[in-house]
């Protein structure tokens, strides 16, 4: 008769997170915290435990002989301790060693903990920095963007801080020394406990990391990947396959390049990072964007003042597009963001823009018969859609008489609209001071 023994790896993962840390340790306390004893014994084969006990009895006290009840975790720990590692002078082998001894342990915890206790970690490896000392070779980020890096050759050292001020928070640990690999496992578990505390203290409005947005369409799937770079406050956006996206929306890569270039010094809309212009390679579109702002949901205005600030800042972005002879074409709140103080708004998603006054190649689902002007999408079309986008907030935001007059001016169908962005900026509800205005978000060089 075959007897199936239950695997209690998940229970062990839960025990390893106890007790929760009271708070984030001070920087000088992190080294001791990372190598402090874990809260449950880590199962490994008896022969490996004997070797470890002979070499480093204090560290061996964190381990126990495998009894077959935590098989999944035992496999990961055994591999981290005992897999043969060679050629640590070569980058691919170093990357594999770090993954085996460190990343896989963290990943296992993140997959086997109960769903409400998982951080949703993402692992990035920077293989192109030519050994710059202030750039970690890898980055771990929780879904709320707190990060911790590691630096390695044959040595792994945990680091924390920003790109210009990095602190070592563990002693150097060698990937090819058995007892050091045991300490790396312990440090990995304690690092997860630390990141758990940090995650609970982060604001709820931090942008997501490595979020793949899949947009299904009958013709193709569009993938947008937005993630933080390893040492810069930037977001990388990708669209693939670009050719299908471009055919569907009637856009072309040359225009996208042009609009980012022509609006680089304007406020009120997102920018391509310096020296990071849009790139099209193997039918994959990539652009690195700045600045970071609140996600659209968290940027929603809740008072008349916030709604007025949103209208003011976003009008500056529209004005910059129109001055470059382009129109946005996709004015929805999902394509808006603002600064963290909710005072300075700017437009996103310049990939959908088009030359002004061009015949509309297709009707979009959020357009109405009043959007187009004799079959063309014009700057007045943008203003009409802009008004429709913002007026939705008046259902919950009480707007005074002057504000209502402003929205009435925007509600004029595109074919009859005589006003331009510059006219609306002078409306009594906005009262833009002109060249000295700093109301818009995404000011040039803002990060």
Q: What domains, with CATH codes, occur in the chain?
A: 9-201 (no CATH), 211-425 (1.10.510.10)
Report helix, strand or coil for 256: helix
CB 291 within 8 A of CB 341: no
**Cα–Cα distance between 25 and 6 in angstroms, integer?**
37
pLDDT of 324: 96
pLDDT per position in the chain (447 positions), as tens? Answer: 555 568 899 999 999 998 888 888 887 888 888 889 999 999 999 999 999 999 889 999 999 999 999 999 999 999 999 877 665 666 666 777 788 888 899 999 999 999 888 888 766 555 444 444 334 444 454 444 444 544 444 445 554 544 444 456 666 777 778 788 999 999 999 989 988 887 776 655 444 454 554 555 554 445 544 444 444 567 778 888 889 888 888 889 999 999 999 999 999 999 998 766 899 999 988 888 888 788 888 899 999 999 999 999 999 999 999 999 999 999 999 999 998 788 899 999 999 889 999 998 778 889 999 999 999 999 999 999 999 999 999 999 999 999 999 999 999 999 999 999 999 999 999 999 988 898 998 887 665
State residue 87's pLDDT score.
Answer: 59
Long-range contacts, stretch 357-361, CB < 8 angstroms, 24+ apart: 360/250, 361/249, 361/250
* pLDDT value, residue 231: 45
User: 138 to each of 94, 122, 126, 152, how far by Cα in Å?
Assistant: 11, 11, 6, 9
Helix orientation angle between 178-201 and 46-55, rounded to the nearest 10 degrees: 100
CA–CA separation, 215 vs 397, rounded Å? 31
Rounded to whole angstroms, the Cα distance separating 273 from 447 reads 9
In the beta sheet, which residues pair with residue 221?
Answer: 216
Task: Determine the pLDDT at residue 78.
Answer: 94
Burial label for 265, CB within 10 Å (0-12, 13-18, 19+), is exposed
pLDDT of 327 reads: 97
Six-digit token string for 415: 């074919």
Q: Please state, as a whole number, how many other Cβ atoms lie within 10 Å of the Cβ of residue 36.
A: 15
| Cα gap 160→217, rounded to integer Å | 42
Distance, first Cα to last Cα, the chain: 66
370: its two tokens? 């009043």
Q: 3-state class of 212 per DSSP?
A: strand
Q: Count the Cβ atoms, other than its own, within 10 Å of residue 231.
A: 19
Q: Beta 155-162 vs 271-272: how paired, if at all?
A: unpaired
**pLDDT at res. 214:** 53
Phi, psi of 152 (to 5 degrees): -150, 155
> Is 336:315 a contact under the CB 8 Å cutoff?
no
Q: pTM of the prediction?
A: 0.60
């Amino acid at each position: 008769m075959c007897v199936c023994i239950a695997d209690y790896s998940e229970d062990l993962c839960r025990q390893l997170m106890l007790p929760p840390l009271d708070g984030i340790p001070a920087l000088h306390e992190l080294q001791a915290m990372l190598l402090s004893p874990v809260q449950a014994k880590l199962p490994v084969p008896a022969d490996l435990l004997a070797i470890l006990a002979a070499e480093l009895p204090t560290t061996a006290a964190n381990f126990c002989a495998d009894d077959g009840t935590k098989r999944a975790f035992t496999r990961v720990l055994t591999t981290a301790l005992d897999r043969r590692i060679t050629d640590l002078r070569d980058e691919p082998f170093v990357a594999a060693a770090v993954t085996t001894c460190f990343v896989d342990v963290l990943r296992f915890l993140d997959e086997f903990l109960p769903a409400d206790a998982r951080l949703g970690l993402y692992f990035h490896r920077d293989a192109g920095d030519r050994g710059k000392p202030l750039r970690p070779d890898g980055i771990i980020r929780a879904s709320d963007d707190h990060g911790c890096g590691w630096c390695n050759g044959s040595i792994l050292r945990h680091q924390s801080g920003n790109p210009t001020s990095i602190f070592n928070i563990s002693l150097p640990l060698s990937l090819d020394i058995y007892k050091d690999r045991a300490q790396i496992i312990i440090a990995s578990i304690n690092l997860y406990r630390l990141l758990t505390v940090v995650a609970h203290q982060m604001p709820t409005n931090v942008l997501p990391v490595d979020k793949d947005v899949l947009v299904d369409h009958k013709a193709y799937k569009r993938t947008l990947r937005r993630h933080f770079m390893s040492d810069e406050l930037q977001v990388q956006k990708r669209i693939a396959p670009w050719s299908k996206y471009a055919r569907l929306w009637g856009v072309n890569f040359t225009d996208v390049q042009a609009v980012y270039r022509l609006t680089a010094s304007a406020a009120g809309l997102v920018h391509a990072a310096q020296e990071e212009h849009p790139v099209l390679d193997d039918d994959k579109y990539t652009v690195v964007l700045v600045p970071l702002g609140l996600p659209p949901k968290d940027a929603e205005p809740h008072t008349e003042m916030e709604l007025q600030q949103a209208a003011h800042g976003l009008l500056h972005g529209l004005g910059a597009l129109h001055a470059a002879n382009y129109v946005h074409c996709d004015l929805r709140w999902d394509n808006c963001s603002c600064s963290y103080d909710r005072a300075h708004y700017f437009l996103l998603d310049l990939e959908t823009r088009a030359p002004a006054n061009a015949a509309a190649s297709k009707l979009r689902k959020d357009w109405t018969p009043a959007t187009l002007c004799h079959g063309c999408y014009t700057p007045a079309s943008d203003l009409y859609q802009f008004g429709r986008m913002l007026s939705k907030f008046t259902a919950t935001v009480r707007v005074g008489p002057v504000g209502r007059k402003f929205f009435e001016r925007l509600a004029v169908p595109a074919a009859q609209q005589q006003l331009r962005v510059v006219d609306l900026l002078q409306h009594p509800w906005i009262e833009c001071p002109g060249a000295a205005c700093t109301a818009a978000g995404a000011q040039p060089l803002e990060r």
